[in-house]
Structure 1
Amino acid sequence: MSALRGRGLTRVYPSTAGDVTAIADIDIDIDAGELVVVRGASGAGKTTLLNLLGALDRPTAGTVWFDDVEATELDEDTLARVRRERLGFVFQSFGLIPVLSAAENVELPLRIARVPAAERDARVTDALRLVGLAGHAQQRPGELSGGQQQRVGIARAIVGRPRVLIADEPTAQLDSRTAASVIELIGELVHGEGIAAIVATHDPLVVQRADRIVELHDGRAAPTTVIESATT
């Protein structure tokens, strides 16, 4: 069973000029230990697809499943809990709180989930170790490089031990060398920790590390290659 899957995903936004279809009738499966890249031109629907798969938005039509749980049937409170327990999110803007240390930023989702203090400390230490920042736990975001800040963001995303990692343009604000190290890290986490990951990107470095590629054109998956092997 796939860790994350969508069936017939469609999202239509009303506007004064008429309905706008952001994505239409997309099927997708992502397995544990697999890195899937979504690529396409600006406006192709990449972020919309990730928002639906991450249950940050509800589809106009179609269903999203986290393992055996149909997310689109859940009420908002249950959905928030399931999302917190099963998903981790990485954003291009890092999204760190400036007044908190790296460790405190990583710890925040565990506090929200009311994880006991001793377990929080152990998980934060382990997450920072996995992203190579064990020695930077007490530094604030302003004292870290852009690449280090994104690594803190990744640590925060994985500290809850998610089944699925969702990343929207995670290298957009990084130089090529730093971006390469961040993508290497994501690949290692996916294949080493057995996390299922879906990444929206224009970055060819990310595409090179993908196990599979989803091509979007005007909100639709490519007609003959809904999911195309990255090695072909």
Structure 2
Amino acid sequence: MTTLRAEHVSRDFATDAGVVHAVAEVSLEVRPGELVVVTGPSGAGKTTLLNLLGGLDRPTSGRVLLGDVDLSTLGDDDLAAMRRDRLGYVFQSFGLIPVLSASENVEVPLRLLRLAPGERDTRVAEALDAVGLGAHGAQRPYELSGGQQRRVGIARAIAARPPLLLADEPTGQLDSSTAATVMDLIGDLVHSRGVAAVVTTHDPTLARRADRVLELHDGRVRSFSAPAPTGT
């Protein structure tokens, strides 16, 4: 069973200097309960690939399937509904709404789903507990540490119980210890809930927490395999 499949996906951008091949012929599959980490230097195409996988951008060629749905066949409204219902996204920036509490930030996607208030409350509490912030729901982002804000972002991404989680450099603004804690949290959520996840990072140490690692260079796949053992 495959949650996400990309088939020969490419994304080109026209510039004054010519065509830039940001992503070139990338193929991958991600199954339930699997954490795939995408690595590579800055400019390798990691964010572009994640945007294609999440339907935030459309490929120049190739296709992306979420379950058995080809995202390229969907109009804008249906694509937005697909992202709302079946995808959780953790952005590079914390992306929290400053005037809302942690609980209210987590509740935002549940309001978009038009869930009943009682169900929203249950899911918000469940998501915050899952990331270890059950006692911090009333706090606003400025009252939380960077690591706590990142965890609120993860809680928001999983609150709707999506089958797919995408995270773009979720540890980029964190110190090494907090970054490792966040990656461990994502791994635990993926394996305990059977979520399929794709996470980008430039840190090879964090990549060792993955089930498989896709290494990108200049938009192309250099390797796609199990992570190297610690110490190699």
TM-score (normalizing by structure 2) = 0.96
Corresponding residue for 1:230?
A: 227
Corresponding residue for 1:113?
A: 113
Report the RMSD for the aligned CA atoms in angstroms: 1.0
CA distance in 1, matches of 2:147, 2:32: 26
Q: Which runs of 5+ in 1 are unaligned?
A: none
- 3-state SS, counterpart of residue 135 of structure 1: coil
Q: Aligned AA for 1:167?
A: A
Corresponding residue for 1:90?
A: 90
CA contact (8 A) 1:12 1:60 kept: yes
Cα-to-partner distance string for 1:26-74 (whole Å, 9 max, x where unaligned): 1110011001011111111111100000000000001110111111110
CA distance in 1, matches of 2:98, 2:83: 25
CA contact (8 A) 1:183 1:205 kept: no
Corresponding residue for 1:37?
A: 37
**Offset of residue 92 of structure 1:** 2.3
- 3-state SS, counterpart of residue 15 of structure 2: coil
Cα-to-partner distance string for 1:74-100 (whole Å, 9 max, x where unaligned): 000001001111110112211001110
**Offset of residue 177 of structure 1:** 1.3
Runs of 4+ in 1 over 3 A off after TM superposition: none
**Offset of residue 228 of structure 1:** 1.3
Corresponding residue for 1:65?
A: 65
CA contact (8 A) 1:171 1:203 kept: no
**Offset of residue 231 of structure 1:** 4.4
Corresponding residue for 1:199?
A: 199
Corresponding residue for 1:15?
A: 15
The sequence identity of aligned pairs, in percent, is 60
Map residues 214-229 of structure 1 onto 2, 5 A cutoff. Answer: 214-222=214-222, 225=223, 227-229=224-226
Map residues 20-169 of structure 1 onto 2, 5 A cutoff. Answer: 20-169=20-169
TM-score (normalizing by structure 1) = 0.96
